[in-house]
Structure 1
Amino acid sequence: MFKYIKKDLPASIVVFFVALPLCLGIALASGAPLFSGVIAGIVGGIVVGALSGSKLGVSGPAAGLAAIVLTAIGTLGGYQNFLLAVVLAGFIQIVFGVLKAGVIAYYFPSSVIKGMLTGIGIIIILKQIPHFFGYDAEPEGAVTFLDPSGENTFSAIFKVFDHLILGSFIIGLVGLAVILLWDNILSKKAKIFTVIQGPLVAVVLGIIFYLLTVSSGALSISDSHLVSVPIPDDINSFFGQFSFPRFSEITNVEIWIVAFTIALVASLETLLCVEATDKLDPDKSVTPTNRELLAQGVGNIISGLIGGLPITQVIVRSSANIQSGGKTKMSAIIHGFFLLISVIVIPNLLNKIPLSVLAAILLVVGYKLAKPGLFKKMYQLGWKQFVPFMVTVVGIVFTDLLVGIGLGLLVGIVVILLKSYQNSHFLHMEDKSNGKHKIKMTLAEEVTFFNKGAILKELDNLPHETYLELNVLKTRYLDHDVIEILEDFSHKAKERNIDIKLVSKRGIVENPESFVEFFKTKPKSNLSLS
């Protein structure tokens, strides 16, 4: 596990700086104590990171669950009751893992997964633009198009110049320039620039800038535009930030409903992120999805027991890990320890980091997820890839993650049905022979009820005085609905003077009396009937 520590350690530092404001921002957006987000980040890094089979996935509190958490805390009668739901959700996820529900991840089209990554990248960019200019009205980590005030993402962007904080903007610009210079030029010049990451240098410069300008009216940055980690007065107040579930409410049906909802949504988000992370992985590793559900379940149990938010694997942190050169799960685990140590030892120093610098880091992460060249590449792959991709992107940006993915998946299914409709058979027409058209129809390997319409249309359009050769030699599955269509057609064929020649594994049959009886009494062959 320490073989790639020279790559994992720098990557873990970048993930730490990405994760810290997101943990705090998601807790704020969820209506939960700020420290609950940090707890979830620590558990997601150390516990889930250690148990997971994912090399590069990073887990923590998920913005996609913020709306559920916000509502649940109110309806369940307090945060301690909600924590019980988180613990129960963890046990439900373990059951999902035991039942091997992780296989669901493999049924999402590649175009939808790429659309998910691109959509999240666009959201990161749109949401971080206001923070980059010093307009911090919306919590860091919010991902919905509508913010709590009822305004939308674009209206917040249009207001940045009315709320511009000059100091935040300048150091954000410097931080962005440093990161780009580091990635594109310096990292190729000397090894030291790959060990020390650009985002770390940007953060250090941000702290120095804040300290130098703290008394300067024009360039000073107020506390509301800095990271805000809770600072305990002593060891007792530190442990006082932890909350514990109220187990006496375990018979409350509403808690079980919330627990199942969290388990279902968190598992689905995790599986989608696992699939996306594996696609981003340069080594193309394959994460065991059932083991991931077990790891997430254990993580949520522990997080809920000590006052943390629900945990999922998160694509923003995972992609930052990959982009920073992480190679093994050690980067995720170390980032968890960094979160733990930093909130204990240096919370005052963390609270001097301008949010605009962290926004610069996330802008680069977002751009790498949503590169313009990807749109061109998906377009060149054809409409069957491009349409589900674009629907997913637009759906995620204007609604939320699961709705966008659901829309993309729905379009993907429609495309599959359309192609299935078109590809159920191959029709070849020859010249007239003995006064009749000779037509060959070869059925595909799999012919289901989805193909009924296409086959029925072709048969109905056959002209009178036709000699039809129906070939099922390669057909391995023939739905009974299709057999009934052939049966009905055989009766109409006599009226239209159409002769039928059936070519099958059993041999050749001229004008079969009954297609149903023929396939029903077939000898052992490779043809499977419903």
Structure 2
Amino acid sequence: MWSHPIFASKGLSKDILAGLVVFLVAVPTSLGIAESLNVPLVAGIVAGLVGGILIGALSGSSTSVSGPSPGLIGILIVQLAVLPSFEAMLLSVVIAGLLQIGFGLARFGYLSAFIPTGVVKGLIAALGVILILKQIPHIFGHDTNPEGEMSFWQPDRETTFSELLELTGDYHVGATFVGILSVAVMIFWQTRRPKWLGFLPAGIFVVLFGAALQVLFKQFGAPWDIGRDHLLQVPTWGTPEGLGALVTSPDFTFLNDRRVYFAGVIIAIVASLETMLNLQAVDQIDKERRRSPVNRELIVQGIGNTTSGLLGGLPITSLVVHSSVNIQNNSRTKRAAIFHGLFFFVFVVLFPNVLNLIPLSALAAILLVTGIELASPQLFRRMWDEGRTQFIPFIVTLLAIVFTDLLIGSLIGLVISIAFILHSNMRSPLRRIVEKHLNNDVLHIELANQVSFLNRGVLDKALTEIPDGSHVMLDATSTQYIDPDILTLIKEFRDYVAPRHNIKLSLKGFGGDHQLEDNIQYVDYSSRELQTEITPQQVLNILRQGNERFRTGKRLPRDLHAQIHGSSIGQFPLAAVLSCIDSRTPVELVFDLGLGDVFSVRLAGNVVGPKSLGSLEYSTAVAGAKLILVVGHTSCGAVNAAVKFAYANPTCEEVTGCENIAAIVNRIRMSIPREDWEANLSKGPEEQRAFADKVSRENVIRVLHDIVEQSGTIGRLVDQRKIALVGAMYDVASAEIEFFMDDAIGFEPIRKGV
């Protein structure tokens, strides 16, 4: 047990000091919430003790600090008005805690993963803005509103902004001096901390300094004397027994009152949502980006709320503000949260008079600087840079929280984010590609990995827009989940809509759990019928479109198993492609083709000789291919070798040790004039690379003419308008192919008949 990190000495002093600073800002918050609810102040103290010691010890989060939540004030005011008594509300808190334990055991924490980043960041920034606005009056000694109150509409019937206007007639000189000086010290401490006080957090120094000034100002009298109204006011209990006597217990006689259970459900749901939201925010603030186990935290929060209710305390949640103070003061482990609870017991229970020396303006300075950290300009800039889909939910959440409260504002932010998600789903849950096939085009609709009921609208729209007499394929090959509502829509389209509009529907990938049978009503590989009826121009268009898909990352999903089976009875390729052996230029990939679509002849430098000519003759005269395509490429190793050794000594075979490479180099050298080669020797690297690519292009064009001149079979097929030849260059950097139509052979006569 003693080997657990919580008992390690490393970082212990930092955790103690961070816990002390958190405690100092938590005390007025706990008392202020109880005061806002008009319930016994001890209820806030009990919640602070339980949130620190019990939840801190059981929590799996390294940074989260728990306590009574300002976000629950509105909910609790309503419940106190509805329920018979405060004791009945305590019973609701116990019930809420038990429900939270159930939420955690049921693993409801997974819902936190669906909270959009824009909402979380908006919450962080909103809390920062609220802290700044709420603490400014306290900095100037205007302390009419209790600490910890975070709503726009305040208990004194002022708003967050109207309260600022009250400063013109209500401020305190001594408190203002302490407040402004404390803010200056906090900022100075972040940039130029004194070395001899480097171990001490700025918050502790500010509190000690503020207390000392308060004692000093008593000697000066008005207007410097900081009276009791501007100091922390912790009740003096006398003894721990005196505190215990003030504790209120839940009244179990109300167990038969339905209102108690309803209130418990409301508190459990709101407290759980707030905890999940706050944990996401705290993990974002954490410099080490540690992740909190949400389900465990729900269970721990449930245990805490059950205990707090039994002991007469307020409901508890994770708190972003206190957690942020904890992180900013360099806490290392969850011990800081535990120490903050222990300090509650030591000072609030045993030595409350010590705390009553602290000016509220000094504590306000700590929270104001924390607010500046939370709502930093860098956060706004980052969210702006991430685009409107992130920035709009972020800014809406921020404004909604500032002008309402934490719960309502966060819900508004979630609604806006959901609207953006729905809009996104309406735009891009499908990928639509028009495939070229024999008798007509096939509209290929590829479904996303997850197709929920939110996608029904866009799929319905896509199916409705299909013209009469078309062919459409719904492809669920990459889809793991399809909502039953979507399956019903597809079945209705298949059984009723498609037949009525003469639409052929093919289904692919719908086997297994999707409850639909695959039904392919077209052949997605080259067939005898397609090869017979297609023209060279149409083949070229298919190759162009295939390269465009490859280049833009929109390759067609292909059923290779079906292609293997279908092409096993015979092959009917559309084209014969003569290309280089370079590993970066596989023909089937760069043209997005399937099995059986093309013959592929590959030789270094895409040169032509008797054997390659024989392959091309068989491809066209016997097997029926309609197009011969010669493809060169940039940065070709064979061409580079030919350029380097074209007219040089020693020869390429002597340097490389390749005995048969001369046949390739000599053929490419035919595209390199000697005078151009000699001029290229004196040029820079970039110009030499451009020269080699130019040679590759000339080599492709020369090979085209060599094929027709050296093969009477192919020449005769060209004259009979049965085939055509074209050259192309593949750019290995961009994956784009340029077709040399000005040097194409056999296309002009065919175009007239197309």
Both structures adopt the same fold (TM-score exceeding 0.5): yes
Q: Does residue 212 of structure 1 match 2:216?
A: yes
Match of residue 260 from structure 2: 255
Label 1:429 to 1:373 Cα distance change in 2 as closer, same or farther (>3 A).
same
1:257 Cα deviation from its structure 2 partner: 2.1
Further displaced range: 82-91 or 272-281: 82-91
Flag structure 1 segments of 5+ consecutive residues without an equivalent: 512-524, 526-530
Which residue in 1 is equivalent to 2:672? none
Q: CA deviation at 1:347?
A: 1.4
- Counterpart of 2:281 in structure 1 is 276
What CA distance in whole angstroms lies between the structure 2 residues aligned with 1:292 and 1:252?
A: 29
**Counterpart for residue 515 of structure 1:** none
Q: Residues 469 and 501 of structure 2 are in contact (CA less than 8 Å); yes or no, is this contact kept in structure 1?
A: no
Distance 1:501 1:292, change over 3 A: closer
Max Rg structure: 2
Matched, 1:127 2:134: yes
1:507: Cα distance to partner? 7.1
Once the two structures are superposed, what CA deviation does each residue of 1:91-120 show, in whole Å capped at 9, x if it has no partner?
222222222222222221122111111111
Displacement of 1:62 in angstroms is 0.8
Per-residue CA deviation, residues 436-458 of structure 1 (Å, 9 max, x unaligned), is 66654434344444334334444
Q: Counterpart in 1 of 2:243?
A: 238
> After the TM superposition, which of the residue ranges 233-242 and 36-45 deviates more from structure 2?
233-242
* Partner-residue secondary structure (3-state), 1:139: coil
SS at match of 2:327: helix
Equivalent position of 2:77 in the other structure: 70
Change (3 A) 1:272 1:465: closer
Q: Find 1:424's aligned residue among 396, 416, 429.
A: 429
Can you list the C-alpha shifts for 1:233-277, whole angstroms capped at 9, x where unaligned? 455533322222223333232222222222222222112212221
Deviation at 1:462, TM superposition (A): 4.7
Change (3 A) 1:100 1:159: same
The Cα of 1:433 is off from its aligned counterpart by 8.2
Aligned length: 506
Distance 1:95 1:235, change over 3 A: closer
The Cα of 1:391 is off from its aligned counterpart by 1.8
Identity over aligned pairs, percent: 38
For 1:153, the equivalent position in structure 2 comes to 160
Structure 1 residues 214 and 235, CA, compared in 2 at 3 Å: closer, same or farther? same
Taking the aligned partners of 1:375 and 1:470, their CA distance within structure 2 comes to 42
**Displacement of 1:5 after TM fit?**
0.6
Kindly provide the amino acid, as one letter, of the partner of residue 249 in structure 2: F
TM-fit CA distance, 1:178: 0.9
Secondary structure, aligned partner of 2:419: helix
- Aligned equivalent of 1:345, options 340, 347, 350: 350
* Structure-2 separation of matches of 1:399 and 1:357: 27
Q: Is 2:196 the counterpart of 1:197?
A: no
State the TM-score, normalizing by the size of structure 1.
Answer: 0.88
Q: Which amino acid aligns with 2:360?
A: L
CA distance in 2, matches of 1:489, 1:290: 46
CA apart distance, 1:160: 1.1
**In the alignment, what sits opposite 1:407?**
412
Shifted more, 346-355 versus 200-209: the winner is 346-355
Whether 2:40 is the aligned partner of 1:33: answer yes
Which residue in the other structure is 2:478 paired with?
A: 474
Q: TM-score, normalized by length of structure 2?
A: 0.63
Contact kept, 8 Å, 1:32 with 1:70, in 2: the verdict is no
Cα distance change, pair 334–489 in 1 and its aligned pair in 2 (3 A): same
SS, match of residue 246 in structure 2 = coil
Which residue is 2:60 aligned to?
A: 53
**Structure 2 partner of 1:378:** 383
Q: Say whether the 8 Å CA contact 2:425–2:458 is kept in structure 1.
A: no
Letter of the structure 1 residue corresponding to residue 71 of structure 2: G
1:374 maps to amino acid? L
Residue 320, structure 1, aligned to residue 325, structure 2: yes
* Letter of the 2:47 counterpart: A
Task: Compare 300-309 and 233-242 and name the one that shifted more.
Answer: 233-242
Shift of residue 199, structure 1, vs aligned partner: 0.8
For residues 459 and 284 of structure 1, the distance between their equivalents in structure 2, rounded to whole angstroms, comes to 45
Corresponding residue SS for 2:317: strand
Structure 1 contact 88–256 (Cα < 8 Å) conserved? yes
Q: Secondary structure at the match of 1:10?
A: helix
Aligned-pair Cα RMSD in Å: 2.7
Q: Does the Cα contact within 8 Å between 1:55 and 1:287 map onto a contact in 2?
A: yes
5+ residue gaps, structure 2, are 1-5, 511-517, 524-561, 563-754
Q: Comparing 128-137 with 242-251, which one deviates more in the overlay?
A: 242-251
Does structure 2 retain, via aligned residues, the 8 Å contact 1:22–1:141?
yes
Q: Deviations over 1:127-149 (max 9, x none)?
A: 11111111111111101100123
Aligned pairs for 1:271-310 within 5 A: 271-310=276-315
Q: Which residue in 2 is equivalent to 1:509?
A: 521
Q: Does structure 2 conserve the Cα–Cα contact (< 8 Å) formed by 1:166 and 1:219?
A: yes
Task: Note closer, same or farther for the CA distance 1:399–1:461 as it changes in structure 2 (3 Å cut).
Answer: same
